[in-house]
């Protein structure tokens, strides 16, 4: 069974930092592109970042570019999101999610999702 378990969230002051982790199991983690998606309280889904399978390429939403860094450790089956210079508008539940490989296009939706972890940025 595919499992994604996020950790590392919590309350942080504006300008602070947090590192989220996502532990993967039940599949060959090193084969999959991975993503972070967030959801502010009562709001919709927003894509944050993605990383390719070997960790050599990543992209970011404009709203987090230069502040957030996605990375992965394939030996530990873990995805990370380093979040710096946090702002109140970064307050959200953060989900890690996996690419759903149905063709070889490099354009994929997201299938398995973690349960999400809450990040609250407030003084």
Query: Nearest distance from residue 105's CB to another protein, in Å?
Result: 7
C-alpha distances out from residue 22 to 3, 25, 38, 62, 114, Å: 10, 10, 14, 22, 8
Q: Interaction with another protein in 82-111: which residues (CB under 8 A)?
A: 95, 97, 100, 102, 105, 107-111
Task: Supply the minimum distance, in Å, between the C-beta of residue 36 and another protein.
Answer: 11
Bridge partners (DSSP) listed for residue 7? 21
- 113 interacts with another protein by CB under 8 A: yes
Residues that bind another protein (CB under 8 A): 35, 44-47, 50, 59, 61-62, 95, 97, 100, 102, 105, 107-111, 113-116
């Amino acid at each position: 069974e595919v499992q994604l378990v996020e950790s590392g969230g919590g309350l942080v002051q504006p300008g602070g930092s947090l590192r989220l982790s996502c532990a993967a199991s039940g599949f060959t983690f090193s084969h999959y592109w991975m993503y972070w998606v967030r959801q502010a309280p009562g709001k919709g889904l927003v894509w944050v970042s993605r990383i390719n399978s070997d960790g050599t390429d990543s992209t970011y939403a404009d709203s987090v570019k230069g502040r957030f860094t996605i990375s992965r450790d394939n030996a530990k089956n873990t995805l990370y999101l380093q979040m710096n210079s946090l702002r109140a508008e970064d307050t959200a539940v953060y989900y890690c999610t996996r690419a759903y490989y149905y063709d070889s296009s490099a354009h994929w939706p997201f299938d398995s999702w973690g349960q999400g972890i809450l990040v609250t940025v407030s003084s």
